[in-house]
């Protein structure tokens, strides 16, 4: 059997047994009555698994730059399991949970995440004593009189966690400092107790406002979700070493708007006026990257400082001549377009593809390298 199909089958069976133990107990008895019945039941189950993913709603990437793999697995599993806990809730997907966790804890950044999801040291917000830290002006206390604080990668208050706590990794505990428990608890909280369709933008926005009653917060999370939805469609890049660091940095910005003049070593920044196309698209009011700003940001992650200009970048490093073709490029090389003057740069990610910020009105995305515009490459990594 295909290993991936076997894993999917096992996960489906595990979830079904967890949610419907009596029915599956009967199934176990039926299997004792003969291999013919067993084979028929397995065949039906395989069809169910395949059909269940036919609409693509559960499609997820194998790796997302910027998200630890254990955290991504926790988001994925929570999105899959919520149907059995909140059957009236539709549209939950891993990108929603990732969008929240990025704002709340940067996916448990700086912590150790064990394979079972335990996060150490614990993530603790400041005491909500009304001092104004984090915008808190009203003291909030726990039942024991101590000041409350948000905890875990999804930053639950203790009182809130008590109403949504889940055992996402089936270890018998319900721990807000565990990635699997916290992600499933967040999914439950977002779904609420009634009917909800998170594919509907208005309902998703309402759910996020319930999570944090701040319009700025909701706008940031929605932007994150849109970016992660775009990542969902992108292939895994099998890079390693410095090339992986550079490519992961660029891929983490998928879906960020193009902004003429935007992008620094620290990340996206406000665009500038160009007196033409960029102004008509309002780039000066956008936070994002232009093409050279994106690669400048990515290479800063490995300590390489680049000028914010594609023609100046073309003059650096070791030249990969146009005549050598795309086959001469390595992962992490800069790819340049002409004719005549160099006017565009992207970051090569293999198989004839590059990640780039193409033009005003677009977002950071993965595109095939256009051989007719290819002007050669520059190699900055050894």
pLDDT tens digits, 264-297? 999 999 999 999 999 999 999 998 999 999 999 9
Closest CA to 260 of 239, 232, 289: 289
Assigned CATH topology for domain 241-379: endopeptidase fold (from Nostoc punctiforme) (3.90.1720)
Strand 196-197 and strand 89-90: the pairing is parallel
Q: Give the predicted TM-score (pTM) of the model.
A: 0.53
Q: Quick check: 255 and 229 in contact, CB under 8 A?
A: yes
Helices (H), 168-309: 179-191, 201-211, 215-231, 241-251, 277-280, 291-300
Give domain limits for the chain: 3-52, 69-231, 241-379
Distance set, CA 184 to CA 116, 189, 224, 233, 268 (Å): 14, 9, 19, 23, 31
Closest CA to 91 of 18, 162, 192, 214: 192
pLDDT at residue number 328: 96
The 8-class DSSP code of residue 365 comes to E
Distance set, CA 360 to CA 167, 231, 286, 308 (Å): 46, 20, 10, 17
Q: Quick check: 315 and 334 in contact, CB under 8 A?
A: no
pLDDT at residue number 1: 40
Q: Quick check: 350 and 290 in contact, CB under 8 A?
A: no
pLDDT at residue number 137: 65
Q: Quick check: 116 and 171 in contact, CB under 8 A?
A: yes
pLDDT at residue number 234: 62
Could you tell me which residues come within 8 angstroms of residue 312 by beta carbon, excluding any fewer than 6 positions away?
A: none
User: Packing angle between helix 179-191 and helix 69-85, nearest 10 degrees?
Assistant: 40
Q: What six digits make up the tokens of 116?
A: 């079972």
What's the chain's length in residues? 382
Closest CA to 290 of 347, 356, 374: 356
Task: For the chain, 382 residues long, give each residue's pLDDT as a single digit of tens.
Answer: 443 334 344 444 444 433 344 444 444 433 444 554 444 444 433 333 333 333 333 445 667 878 898 999 899 999 989 999 999 999 999 999 999 999 999 999 989 999 899 999 999 988 877 676 656 567 777 778 788 888 999 999 888 999 999 999 889 999 999 999 999 999 999 999 989 999 999 999 999 999 998 999 999 999 999 989 887 666 667 888 999 999 999 988 887 889 999 999 999 999 999 999 999 999 999 989 999 999 999 999 999 999 999 999 999 999 999 999 999 999 999 999 998 799 999 999 999 999 999 999 998 999 999 999 999 999 999 8
pLDDT at residue number 8: 41
């Amino acid at each position: 059997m295909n290993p991936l199909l076997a894993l999917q089958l096992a996960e489906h069976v595990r979830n079904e047994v967890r949610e419907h133990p009596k029915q599956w107990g009967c199934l176990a008895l039926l299997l004792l009555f003969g291999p013919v019945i067993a084979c028929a039941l397995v065949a039906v189950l395989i069809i169910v698994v395949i059909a269940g993913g036919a609409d693509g709603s559960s499609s997820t990437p194998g790796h997302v730059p910027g998200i630890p793999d254990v955290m991504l697995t926790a988001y994925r599993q929570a999105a899959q399991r919520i149907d059995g806990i909140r059957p009236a809730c539709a549209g939950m997907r891993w990108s929603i949970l990732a969008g929240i966790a990025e704002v709340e804890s940067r996916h448990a950044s700086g912590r150790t995440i064990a394979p079972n999801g335990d996060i150490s040291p614990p993530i603790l917000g400041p005491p909500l004593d009304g001092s104004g830290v984090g915008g808190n002006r009203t003291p909030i206390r726990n039942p024991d009189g101590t000041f409350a604080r948000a905890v875990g990668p999804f930053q639950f208050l203790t009182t809130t966690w008590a109403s949504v706590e889940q055992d996402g990794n089936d270890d018998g505990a319900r721990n807000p400092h565990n990635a699997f428990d916290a992600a499933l608890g967040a999914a439950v909280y977002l779904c609420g107790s009634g009917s909800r369709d998170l594919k509907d933008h208005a309902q998703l926005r309402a759910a996020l406002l319930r999570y944090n009653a701040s319009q700025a917060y909701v706008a940031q999370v929605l932007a994150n979700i849109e970016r992660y939805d775009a990542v969902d469609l992108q292939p895994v890049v099998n890079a390693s070493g410095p090339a992986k660091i550079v490519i992961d940095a660029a891929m983490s910005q998928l879906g960020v708007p193009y902004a003429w003049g935007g992008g620094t070593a620290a990340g996206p920044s406000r665009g500038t006026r160009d007196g033409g196309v960029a102004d008509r698209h309002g780039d000066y009011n956008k936070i994002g990257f232009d093409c050279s700003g994106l690669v400048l940001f990515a290479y800063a992650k490995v300590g390489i400082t680049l000028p914010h200009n594609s023609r100046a970048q073309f003059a650096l490093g070791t030249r990969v001549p146009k005549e050598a073709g795309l086959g001469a490029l390595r992962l992490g090389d800069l790819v340049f377009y002409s004719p005549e003057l160099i006017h565009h740069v992207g970051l090569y990610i293999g198989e004839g593809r590059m990640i780039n910020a193409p033009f005003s009105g677009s977002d950071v995305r993965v595109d095939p390298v256009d051989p007719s515009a290819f002007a050669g490459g520059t190699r900055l990594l050894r």
